[in-house]
Amino acid sequence: MSANETQGGGAAPRCLVDLKDGQTGIIRKNGDRKSTEMGLFPGARVVMFRNRKSEMSVVIGAGDARFLVSRAIAMKVELEG
Amino acid sequence: MGDGLRVALVGNPNTGKTTLFNLLTGARERTGNWTGVTVDSAHGVLDIGAEQLRVTDLPGIYSFSPYTEDERVARDYLIRNKPDAVINIVDASNLERSLYLTAQLLDMRVPLVVALNQMDVAERHGMRVDPAHLAQHLGCPVVPMVASRGEGGEALKQEVLRVAQARRLPTARVLYGDAERSVQRLQVCLIVAADDAGVDSRWLAIKLLEQDPFARELTKGLFDEIAAEENARIARHTGLKPEAAVMDARLGFIRGLAHDVVKRRLEIRRRFSDLADRLLLSRPAGIPAFLCVMYGVFWLTVRLTQPLVDFIDSALSALLVQGPRVWLGGLGVPELAISLLADGVGSGLTTVATFMPPIFMIFLCLSLLEESGYMARAAFIMDRFLNKIGLPGKAFIPLLVGFGCTVPALMATRTLEQRRDRLLTMLIAPFMSCGARMPVYAIFAMAFFPKHGNAVIFALYLIGALLAILSGWVLHRTLFKGDASAFVMELPPYHIPALRGCLEHVWYNLKSFLVRAGQVILLIAVLLSLGNAVFEWASAGEQQAAAKKSAAGRALTVVLRPMGVAEDNWPAAAGLLTGLMAKEAIVGTLEVLYAHADEAPAPDAQTFSLGASLREAARGLAAGYGRAGDGTAPGGESPGLLASMRRNFGGRAAAFAYLLFVLIYSPCVAALIVLGREAGWRWMGFAVVYQTLLAWMVATAFYQAATFFEAPLRAGLWLGALAVLAAGGVGLLHQFGKRGTR
């Protein structure tokens, strides 16, 4: 099963931190320079692997890479609607 | 060779950069499976026919923006050293991300060769990358490779030689869209300044528009006004900050390039690592798994190696200390020479050899954790805990490395972006008990806690980690106020560690550790023996020598008495001083000084038998492993050192207080030099004072509490005084914090 098959309906997430486990999105804008340079740039498709409110970071996939992203940064990564 | 061609290797972390370096140079640099393995540059030689090229492996970075020390190291190297060719290793399976750095290299106008690595992984993931097309777009050679299998190595060497000999620059340039006119206008103004600074004028213009502090430093602020005008113009036209406009244009270039040269499936495939992470990053399974891994590391390092340490100690003591003493005595060699050879060189070599098993094991464990990819996951598990002391989760990696050796731990902080995070991590990393302290714990455990040695050693490790957290908490609330900085860290896929690579890495570390520490220990052992012999000779008579030693001892131990070091136990104080050179030297110092101080009966030809001693050591080894799992530290009644230690420390309370002091006090000289270089000499001074004072307070508090019922009034007064001192210390730190001493 590819991850994007799990993309659910409902209101479109607005930023990375809004994605639930298994959901995918395409980055529209990234307000964090470092993560942009590491590959989370506009147009990149991302999938959420782990997002728990109690944890300080989320785990995402972008292309073949996996990233640990602080929630503060994940909130700066806007997704296409 | 100094005049030969020079090549630099640049690329993202986890793209096989170090593997490629090893392939090109035949070196045995360590490879790793987490970001930041190469935190410093490594050098090697590349032979191509008759040509010898000097290759420098720069730290793995994502960009040349100066966020971290490793990015600065890589950028400064390229600008200052101007290599004849730059190999940019690009991950074919993550092309867009890798091309960000490539685009910046195009801006820098360096002679470029692109090594398009991991073509096999890209293919496996349903991607087809066209190297010829990419070369056409970039205007420089692109060599498809699978570095791990050596494929493409020869073709790369030939391209590198061609580019280096001609210093051939790439023909492509990144055009900066709405910012392009500003780039060009600024470039014209900067031609002379760029020439003076030895950099490309277009690169300097782009960097000034991005408000890069290094570019402003190169132009001495002379062009700030013009850059500000152009920035205002860009902002008016695009509605974006200039650095964002530049970045957008760069990303546009990359997207266009990737669109042209890559054919792929669109979905993100789940891998085994993703499934494993569901379990290992979850709270119910992740934390127990993490604790099991940590205990496993401890068990392998301490429990598994201890019988071997005892065996080496007993066997080499017989072979290098007791034996030579008897044999040389029989030959009528003067006492001074015997003392130097047996008590100095022999004891020193024995001490060095006993470090080998635990140090080997701790480095092996760290290597396995790193290679397997688990280390990055441990950073996630620790994220929430470290956040409480104002550190990001990835600060855990340097702390974990600290269990091996403090020096690489301090170097590993280079991957942290914020200086505040780096400083705080560097100040608490020495609390993670390094492998060098292990022999000290082991010998004390054998002498004082034969039944619960493992528990005592584990407690020391735990106390070190708790003090790191406590210190982090105090410093976070005083000198380093502020929240943990947000971070992004790549999670490498899980790998089955390549045993050969791990063992090579361990051997490299073990060798350098033994050479570095061995020299210090041997030197100290010989000097102490020599000093002792000269002292006795100059004192004209043993009684006079003993009186002088006692007086010197009183002076040495005066500050250590509240923590249980008696005035005649001056070798313990001397051990702490030599321990500043290298912590392992403490055991060697005690061994040499107790041998002299206690006038232990020297073995003679009648009582000493090498064969019997070695058989006894072998029996101890068999018994040690036979008893594995019963939690008992083996060793039995060895050597006089254990008896001397028991006699001199008088009891367990003083011995454990001494171990606490060894655990906490100032890092060794090698670590202090690195700390001074990385954090600044002021912070190095702070670390020495803070740790030594804390060590004294904790050791004294423990000793006084443990002996409370022997002298309640004295202990009560000491504990009260320590509480006042601790409160005063925190208050002082708070005041410094307020005054912004940072």
Residue B87 has pLDDT above 90, yes or no: yes
State the pLDDT at residue B500. 75
State the pLDDT at residue B131. 95
Contact of B392 with chain A, judged by CB distance below 8 Å, is answered with yes
| pLDDT level of residue B638 (50, 70, 90 thresholds) | very low
| pLDDT level of residue B550 (50, 70, 90 thresholds) | low
| CATH number for the domain formed by residue range(s) A16-79 | 2.30.30.90
CB B347 within 8 A of CB B592: yes
Mean pLDDT of A39-50: 90
Residues B143 and B185 in one domain: no
CB B114 within 8 A of CB B88: yes
Mean pLDDT of B544-554: 67
State the pLDDT at residue A24. 92
Residue B541 has pLDDT above 70, yes or no: no
Three-state DSSP at B263 gives strand
Residues B449 and B546 in one domain: yes
Residue A4 has pLDDT above 50, yes or no: no
Domain boundary among B247, B263, B279: B263
Residue B135 has pLDDT above 70, yes or no: yes
Say how far apart CA A9 and CA B442 lie, in whole Å. 61
In this complex, do A40 and B94 lie within 8 Å of one another by their Cβ atoms?
no
CB contacts, 8 Å: A37 with chain B: 62-63, 65, 100
State the pLDDT at residue B655. 95
In whole numbers, what is the pLDDT of chain B averaged over residues?
Answer: 84
With a CB cutoff of 8 Å and minimum separation 6, the contacts of B227 are B186, B208, B209, B211
A38 exposed, middle or buried (CB, 10 Å; 0-12, 13-18, 19+)?
A: buried
Residue ranges of E strands in B118-162: 128-129, 142-144
Bridge partners of B115?
B89, B143
State the pLDDT at residue B37. 40
Is B276 a domain residue? Answer: no
CB contacts, 8 Å: B376 with chain A: 68
Give which of B430, B293, B297, B303 is closest to B364, Cα–Cα: B297
Residues B125 and B234 in one domain: no
**What are the tens digits of pLDDT across the range B430-488?**
999 987 888 889 889 988 998 888 889 889 999 999 999 999 999 998 988 877 778 88
Residues B9 and B116 in one domain: yes
CB B91 within 8 A of CB B15: yes
CB contacts, 8 Å: A54 with chain B: 283, 384
Q: Please report, as a single letter, which amino acid is at residue B251.
A: L
Could you tell me which chain B residue has the CA closest to the CA of A71?
Answer: B486
| pLDDT level of residue B631 (50, 70, 90 thresholds) | very low
Candidates A60, A68, A75, partner chain B, best to mutate (most B CBs within 10 A):
A68
CA distance B94 to chain A (A): 6
What the block records as the tokens of B446 is 């054998």
In this complex, do A3 and B376 lie within 8 Å of one another by their Cβ atoms?
no
**What are the tens digits of pLDDT across the range B392-432?**
888 888 888 888 778 778 877 877 878 889 999 999 999 99
Residues B199 and B99 in one domain: no
Residue ranges of E strands in B430-526: 488-491
Say how far apart CA B614 and CA B607 lie, in whole Å. 14
Say how far apart CA B52 and CA B75 lie, in whole Å. 24
In this complex, do B488 and A24 lie within 8 Å of one another by their Cβ atoms?
no
Residues B669 and B578 in one domain: yes
Nearest neighbour of A67 by CB, restricted to B63, B67, B488: B488
Calculate the alpha carbon distances from B660 to B48, B563, B691, B694 in Å: 55, 10, 11, 10
This model of the complex carries an ipTM of 0.85
Bridge partners of B43?
B56
Residues B568 and B598 in one domain: yes
**What are the tens digits of pLDDT across the range B720-731?**
999 999 999 999
State the pLDDT at residue B107. 94
CB contacts, 8 Å: A77 with chain B: none
Residues B482 and B629 in one domain: yes
**What are the tens digits of pLDDT across the range B214-258?**
888 888 888 888 888 988 888 888 888 888 888 889 999 998 998
Phi, psi of B128 (to 5 degrees): -120, 115
In this complex, do B393 and A68 lie within 8 Å of one another by their Cβ atoms?
yes
Contact of B300 with chain A, judged by CB distance below 8 Å, is answered with no
Q: Where are the domains of chain A?
A: 16-79
Contact of B610 with chain A, judged by CB distance below 8 Å, is answered with no
Is B255 a domain residue? Answer: yes
Contact of B417 with chain A, judged by CB distance below 8 Å, is answered with yes
Residues for chain B: how many in total?
A: 742
Q: Minimum mean pLDDT among B74-83, B150-159, B696-705, B733-742: which range?
A: B733-742
Please count the structural domains in chain B. Answer: 3
**What are the tens digits of pLDDT across the range B694-706?**
999 999 999 999 9
Mean pLDDT of A9-32: 83
Mean pLDDT of B92-97: 88
Mind giving me the DSSP string for B546-561?
HHHHHHHHHHHHTTTG
CB B675 within 8 A of CB B705: no
Contact of B270 with chain A, judged by CB distance below 8 Å, is answered with yes
Candidates B100, B105, B267, B488, partner chain A, best to mutate (most A CBs within 10 A):
B488
| pLDDT level of residue B689 (50, 70, 90 thresholds) | very high
Residues B576 and B693 in one domain: yes
In this complex, do A42 and B251 lie within 8 Å of one another by their Cβ atoms?
yes
Mean pLDDT of B28-57: 68
Q: Look up tokens 């999938």; give the residue.
A: A47
State the pLDDT at residue A77. 94
Nearest neighbour of B487 by CB, restricted to A36, A52, A70: A70
In this complex, do A43 and B489 lie within 8 Å of one another by their Cβ atoms?
no
CB contacts, 8 Å: A61 with chain B: 268, 274
Is B280 a domain residue? Answer: no
Q: What percent of chain B has pLDDT over 70?
A: 89
CB contacts, 8 Å: B490 with chain A: 38, 65-68
Among chain A, residues having any CB pair with chain B shorter than 8 Å are 1-5, 24, 32-47, 49-50, 52, 54-57, 59, 61-73
What the block records as the tokens of B215 is 């570019």
Q: Look up tokens 């003679």; give the residue.
A: B604
State the pLDDT at residue B602. 58
Residues B103 and B237 in one domain: no
CB B43 within 8 A of CB B77: no
Candidates B246, B259, B268, B386, partner chain A, best to mutate (most A CBs within 10 A):
B268
Residues B257 and B305 in one domain: no
CB contacts, 8 Å: A38 with chain B: 62, 97, 488, 490
Could you tell me which chain A residue has the CA closest to the CA of B391?
Answer: A56
State the pLDDT at residue A10. 52
**What are the tens digits of pLDDT across the range B138-178?**
999 999 999 888 899 999 999 999 999 999 999 999 998 88
Is B647 a domain residue? Answer: yes
Is B605 a domain residue? Answer: yes
Residue B523 has pLDDT above 70, yes or no: yes
Q: Give how far the C-alpha of residue B48 lies from the chain's centroid of Cα atoms, to the nearest Å.
A: 34
Bridge partners of A26?
A45
What the block records as the tokens of B469 is 């957290």
CB contacts, 8 Å: B267 with chain A: 2-5
In this complex, do B384 and A67 lie within 8 Å of one another by their Cβ atoms?
no
| pLDDT level of residue B636 (50, 70, 90 thresholds) | very low
Say how far apart CA B583 and CA B284 lie, in whole Å. 38
CB B143 within 8 A of CB B113: yes
Q: Give how far the C-alpha of residue B294 lies from the chain's centroid of Cα atoms, to the nearest Å.
A: 18
State the pLDDT at residue B124. 84
Contact of B120 with chain A, judged by CB distance below 8 Å, is answered with no
Say how far apart CA B422 and CA B429 lie, in whole Å. 10
Identify the domain containing residue B600 by its residue range: 287-488+497-738
State the pLDDT at residue A49. 93
State the pLDDT at residue A5. 39
State the pLDDT at residue B42. 72
Residues B89 and B230 in one domain: no
CATH label of the domain that carries residue B128: 3.40.50.300
In this complex, do B67 and A2 lie within 8 Å of one another by their Cβ atoms?
no
Residue A50 has pLDDT above 60, yes or no: yes
Q: Please report, as a single letter, which amino acid is at residue B8.
A: A
Burial B714-723 (b: 16+ CB within 10 A, else e): ebeebeeebe
Q: Look up tokens 């650095």; give the residue.
A: B243
In this complex, do A55 and B273 lie within 8 Å of one another by their Cβ atoms?
no
CA distance A70 to chain B (A): 5
From first CA to last CA, the distance across chain A in angstroms is 23
Higher pLDDT, B549 or B289: B289
Interface of B with A in 64-93 (CB under 8 A): 65, 67, 93
- Residue B492's CB: how many other CB atoms inside 10 A? 23
What the block records as the tokens of B290 is 């993490």
CA distance B61 to chain A (A): 9
Say how far apart CA A45 and CA A47 lie, in whole Å. 7
CA distance A28 to chain B (A): 12
Nearest neighbour of A50 by CB, restricted to B281, B376, B493: B281
Contact of B240 with chain A, judged by CB distance below 8 Å, is answered with no
Consecutive H or E run containing B469:
helix B453-477
Q: What percent of chain B has pLDDT over 90?
A: 29
Mean pLDDT of B582-601: 72
Residues for chain A: how many in total?
A: 81
Is B274 a domain residue? Answer: no
Residue B603 has pLDDT above 70, yes or no: no
CB contacts, 8 Å: A35 with chain B: 488
In this complex, do A63 and B273 lie within 8 Å of one another by their Cβ atoms?
no
